[in-house]
Structure 1
């Protein structure tokens, strides 16, 4: 029996205690309509009782919600149906909850990341029943638990590490502090007799060309039920059956499927998925389960080599160069997410040529929709356990909660073909080593036992086919600094926080699992929530939407010698977006040129959870920032770049495909001025083997500039690939102000803007959302040499008469 709102069950919510402001107290003393699954913030919004927390400075005015206690209540009719066991199944309660049925308390919970079953056989009555769930204010609950359990070091304002709740819900350096409560996942009554399927772990692997399915079926038995049970597993046209004795807690059913089609990550092959059906029969009692699997193997190589220690993920024995992004919850109010929102956001990753998403440890274990879409699209998933940037007690009662949630998460997610890594934590090992935790901890536990003992044991027991990593970053050796560039995974955060992005070239990391640079969201996104008059980088509402410490000051400092200071707010917006895109591409392109020493990058971050200035490539309204387009180029299957190597310049080609890359390369030193005169030119053949990289030295005739401020290097491949090198930064580069002409033409569904260069036009970008927030553009950061043209295609809007600054921008109009 479904108890969710969409099944017809009516819920209400009201404030029961807490710092409710006077203007809300009367309205919230009485129940208002609630939605289940849902969250109190979205219920209050739907009732029109609070303003949008994302707008203006509203976020800070609504912090009282997270310090208020809330009561969710429903009444429902139930009639006995002949079954002997009745259970309330709550898939997610956020977070500190007291559950009461018909006046009797049945449970207290304090873990958002777990599902619960409550036996209510003796409490349900025929006819009308009342279910009440009291939620304690999460901010006060975290404070209280921290006082009771002891304060463990953490980042940000609240002691989120004292409670098993989404850490970023308390605010992060890109997210709002909107600590919420609610029945955030489905809730229902399950009625059964005798025996039922509790869970299924269908672990799919390979034995040569054949698929091997090792299905682990956990069973729950009613007291006194003595019939044996038959379990039947169907997959890939193969049916396997076993009989188990009454009381058996777990049954293993193994099957071999001949000549299966292997599942591959995108860029390496197809993603065939096989339906799996599990049936249970015990006398007259039946139960069933369905799911999908993909047959593949995944390994992680961190064995020491001559350079230190690598980090290599291999699928079906084939190494995968990772082109990835970190993933945060896609909305600060996660119950607003559904299959369609996941499809749209994961498409942002796929369209940017990514093959991996890392589900970061300060968020949630995502819904099955997320992993299903990744299975279908061939996007590998690196899954953090939910520990981030803090020390965690290993004492009771937290330890039992950690174990219970980890077991549930591994059991639920282990079937997914896309699941590539289980990762113990985000930055906590690094934090213990370097962030000054040891003195305040005073010898207390801090999470080490989770990352090095409990979690790897759970993974080995429940999902042995998936590699486990102790943390990120980590060097896979207790005696090596966890963030050592020569070993394992590395986070590069001195860039952005302290030093210029040119520092990226000082590192030769084996694998980068976090790095990034900030920039503002689309203009339409920013101005929909920031209303400062005049608009200013340091305005009150602007800074509400900048959560990083000294974030806008770092945007300013981050320009360095690369770009000049802005003249107005329009230039600020374009300059900082451009600098973000360039910084991240600078790092990726250099590290790709180090292949095979470097085996991948995971940029921070793909998405935002509200409209904010952040590291994201796609903003909170779904607009792809210039960074996204830079990533699409830097993550291309075949990448051509110009890179410095000691005292020379080289053309670096990285071919991440299964085919040899052969093309003719023309390299020219050209003038930036009108006409773009070719000052020197060379041609050579480029041949890059499959899944390989090559370096080609450039001759002095190309690399020695006559006048550095008016010349640049252009590299053109016969296959359309291109790369550029500049002898000086843009602040010193002589660019022509009127370097291009434009033509606007209406087309079906939108319009085209064709730009033709008369001189070097650097990093052309069209921002149609400044005219219509619904408009989208297909390309960005286009560099044209004199005589070249490019057409921007815009969808979702009508054609304007003309475009110019600030809709059409380039680096030229920043420096001229």
Structure 2
């Protein structure tokens, strides 16, 4: 018996050695992106297709569908989502790929209900846009002339029977089913698909299908590294303890494989171990510590340092597979602890309480494959350049592309990551709940190593809708049993399944069930939890009311505006469209007539009645900018009590009137320019409090800052009424009132309508922070007609404009024709006889630039 056992061991060892001789280094991945064609399933005509892509963009590229963004064309695109579509291509494999022991088809994203056939064999059915799909095709694939076919079922036809089968309805607040010809049949809640495709109050209804992320053939021998998780157990500036968990897929028994973790920059081996690989999934844990690590910091607090760690597996001194990732060493957590005000809500980064400055982010296009790396980079850099340190990836869009998070990692933008649920109730039980769980696992595993990920959030406003909007009451009134059923699904989804996924797959991460969220009872509490504040906008209140709202953390608030003239011309080029109530303008105002009425009411109350359509567009942007400036400054003045201000929203998915601070083309609205100033590392913020003027200095710096405060009270033609100079030592990471005085003493006998207050702080490194403040609504200010003189000279990549004016000029706006010009500053105030220079990126000639340059200010918008 002993001899037999020894013989078995020898045979096993020899078998392993023999098998290792056939293992080649590294997997081979090839994208299948050429030769694609598509057709309407019930018709015969084939057309060339672009992959990644979606049906709508392929129809547009083939001249079959008019641009849905232009005028009223969206209406003519509603037939597309009622059809099934077929995509197919043929491809060959090279020798290296074909001769591998394992060959997988790897789909990064299919939208949404799809049947996949390879060489006429059905290999896969998909039902979730947000998941990745991998299937072993070694026994089906050929070296030459492989036929890959993907049949996309209409998401409407798949989900309508589900809607019709139920005796009650799931709420879906923003599903524009009527625009899609579905009457009240809001089917979006049944599909694991981007909610905004079904319409939103800033977006069109264009329900897509297609191969929206790349498709790969991936071939490998012996084993492959499927995933590496770097768990940062303890992190400080002195030490970081990191546990690395590798998920390795093996197709055979392999003895004595060496696993290594290497710092690629230094070449230092951080950890290694020798293991035996078994067939199937292997989880390998290996830990290491780093002394005095360079930490990852958010924008404004320090360098977002990134290491490049490589996980590799060697067999007989041959590297079989490797996986490199950029890792930021940091500790980030949501701190919710009782304090003297109630309960805190802030993010702590590397032990430092951080005031969140940022915005809510939606997908950059309704047609996702059109979002290029250049668009992603501009979108993130525009956040960085506006001094943001956080973006909230909102739950009605998508779990973003890897490149989005890589940019956030690189530039120090923390990410509040919603799971993809927003403003709806979902039938989260049975197969759908399991699908949701797998979706969460896929995306938590994909994103968890990014240092930018600060928190996982269950949903956007779903709990708020249940408890505050009246959904619970409505269901309970009709049938308490249905209410109980929906609540159980809700509870299981957000309080059991999703937090358990986060706990298991990203154990160091924070999770909150909903936004806004105080407690499971759904109450709103200004002393506890995050807040979505919408009263000023929705009720059309004076924009000064933003000063009065208090909260521990503003995760959403906003004010709408129209895009600028050049953007409006891209979708409404005809003169008959140039009225905010025209059919075309209303089609690109998804907030409806009520949104227009709010803008008109507030604009008239704050400023007066504009003289024409272009002036209305300009003033709507100024109104949005002024409103958000008031809000952002109020939130920052409350620093310590309030620890975050994330406005709605950073971007648009098509050209539209919306709450965005940048339009679809990435053009900065007035608000984005104002945000850049309001979010600087030091804010000087004057505010009238009764009959006193108070000035606050708010600092995000981690050390005290010395400098000098200059306060000037000027008449609007430049006469100095009062001047105060004061040395300051501004407290670090805090808001401090640094000046208080009665208004009458400051303005003396001058009427409030005739003065502007200029507050400026200059630190010891000569960095200037300036803020202008009026004591009355601008409608009541006696602003003089401004005669602005300009001088233009050629500089690198464009021009420099130097401006001067003998009187105070409010909100000076510069423009030239076209969409591809960027002004370094805009919508700014010109102080009397104070020169200001602005650089402009433009490809125009000097003569054309001078001819096209338009300069207007506030008083030009009125008769």
The alignment's TM-score, normalised by the length of structure 1, stands at: 0.93
In 2, distance between residues paired with 1:90 and 1:107?
11
CA–CA separation in structure 1 for the residues paired with 2:828 and 2:145: 66
- Which residue pairs with 2:683 in the alignment? 639
Q: Secondary structure at the match of 2:779?
A: coil
Pairing 1:231–2:259 present: yes
Secondary structure at the aligned position of 2:162 is classed as helix
1:506 matched residue in structure 2: 548
Mean Cα deviation higher: 630-639 or 524-533: 524-533
The reply on whether 1:525 has 2:567 as its aligned counterpart is: yes
Aligned equivalent of 2:192 = 164
- Residue range with higher mean Cα deviation, 374-383 or 233-242: 233-242
- Between 1:568-577 and 1:438-447, the stretch displaced more is 438-447
185, 189, 203: which one aligns with 2:231: 203
Q: Please tell me whether the aligned partners of residues 751 and 798 of structure 1 are also in contact (alpha carbons under 8 angstroms).
A: no
C-alpha contact 1:97 1:109 (8 A) present in aligned 2? yes
- Deviation of the 1:196 alpha carbon: 2.6
Question: Aligned in 2, Cα 1:89/1:745: closer, same or farther, shift over 3 Å?
Answer: closer
**Residue 763 in structure 1 maps to residue 816 in structure 2:** no
The CA distance in 1 between the partners of 2:851 and 2:105, in whole Å, is 61
Q: CA deviation at 1:805?
A: 11
CA contact (8 A) 1:238 1:255 kept: no
Q: 1:557 Cα deviation (Å)? A: 2.0
Provide the C-alpha distance between the structure 1 equivalents of 2:762 and 2:677, rounded to a whole number of angstroms. 17
In the TM superposition, residue 803 of structure 1 has moved relative to its aligned partner by 7.1
CA contact (8 A) 2:757 2:772 kept: yes
Q: CA deviation at 1:207?
A: 4.5
Aligned to 2:325: 291
**CA RMSD, 1 decimal:** 2.4
Q: 1:34–1:230: structure 2 CA closer, same or farther, 3 Å change rule?
A: same
Give the alignment partner of residue 309 of structure 1, picking from 327, 343, 368. 343
Between 747-756 and 540-549, report the one with greater CA deviation.
747-756
Deviation per CA, 1:746-804: give whole Å up to 9, x if none: 44433333222212211212123xx3432221112322332212122222133458979
**Counterpart of 1:12?**
37
Measured in 2, the distance between the counterparts of 1:228 and 1:556 equals 73
Tell whether 2:271 aligns with 1:240: yes
Map of 2:557 onto structure 1: 515
- Structure 2 Cα separation of the partners of residues 228 and 447 of structure 1: 47
Q: Which moves more between the two structures, 526-535 or 695-704?
A: 695-704
Q: Does 2:108 correspond to 1:91?
A: yes
> Is 2:422 the counterpart of 1:405?
no
Look up the match of 1:75: 90
In the alignment, does 2:79 pair up with 1:64? Answer: yes
1:261 aligns with 2:294: yes
Aligned to 2:721: 679
- Is 1:212 aligned with 2:256? no
Q: Show the counterpart of 1:486.
A: 527
Could you tell me which of 113, 135, 145 is aligned with 1:118?
135
Partner of 1:23: none
Structure 1 counterpart of 2:169? 151
Secondary structure at the aligned position of 1:400 is classed as helix
The alpha carbon displacement at 1:406 in A equals 0.5
- Aligned residue for 1:257, secondary structure, equals strand
Deviations 1:616-666 (A, max 9, x none): 111111211111101001111111111133552201110111232333323
Indicate the residue corresponding to 2:498 in structure 1: 455
**Correspondent of 1:444 among 471, 480, 485:** 485
Deviation at 1:229, TM superposition (A): 4.2
Question: In structure 2, what is the Cα distance between the partners aligned to 1:154 and 1:705?
Answer: 58
Whether the aligned pair in 2 keeps the contact of 1:195 and 1:282 (CA below 8 Å) is no
**1:421 is matched with which residue?**
455
In the alignment, what sits opposite 2:414? 380
1:133-163 CA distance string (max 9 Å, x none):
1111223334333334663111122432211
Specify the alignment match of 2:373 in structure 1.
339
Change (3 A) 1:715 1:65: same
In structure 1, the gaps of 5 or more residues are 18-27
SS in 2 for 1:702: helix
CA contact (8 A) 2:29 2:219 kept: no
Distance in 1, matches of 2:68 and 2:554, equals 34
* 1:358 equivalent in alignment to 2:392: yes
If the length of structure 2 is used for normalisation, what is the TM-score?
A: 0.88
Q: 2:783 aligns with which of 725, 735, 760?
A: 735
Match of 1:53 among 58, 68, 76: 68
Between the aligned partners of 2:528 and 2:362, the Cα distance in structure 1 is 26
Change (3 A) 1:802 1:774: closer
Query: Contact between 1:311 and 1:510, CA under 8 Å: does it hold in 2?
Result: yes
- Is 1:807 matched with 2:839? no
Task: Work out the CA distance in 2 between the residues paired with 1:724 and 1:5.
Answer: 57
Deviates more, 1:340-349 or 1:142-151: 142-151
Does structure 1 conserve the Cα–Cα contact (< 8 Å) formed by 2:334 and 2:348? yes
1:532–1:540 CA contact under 8 A, matched in 2: no
Rounded to whole Å, the distance in 2 between the matches of 1:277 and 1:65 is 45
Greater mean alpha carbon deviation, residues 630-639 or residues 40-49: 40-49
Query: Structure 1 runs of 4+ off > 6 angstroms?
Result: 801-806
SS of the residue corresponding to residue 214 of structure 1 reads strand
Q: Is the partner of 1:766 in helix, strand or coil?
A: strand
Q: Tell me how far 1:615 sits from its aligned partner.
A: 1.1
Shift of residue 95, structure 1, vs aligned partner: 0.3
Residue 725 of structure 1 and its aligned partner are, at CA, apart by: 2.5
* Distance change >3 Å, CA 29–CA 801, structure 1 → 2: closer
Q: Cα 1:705–1:685, aligned 2, differ >3 Å: closer, same or farther?
A: farther
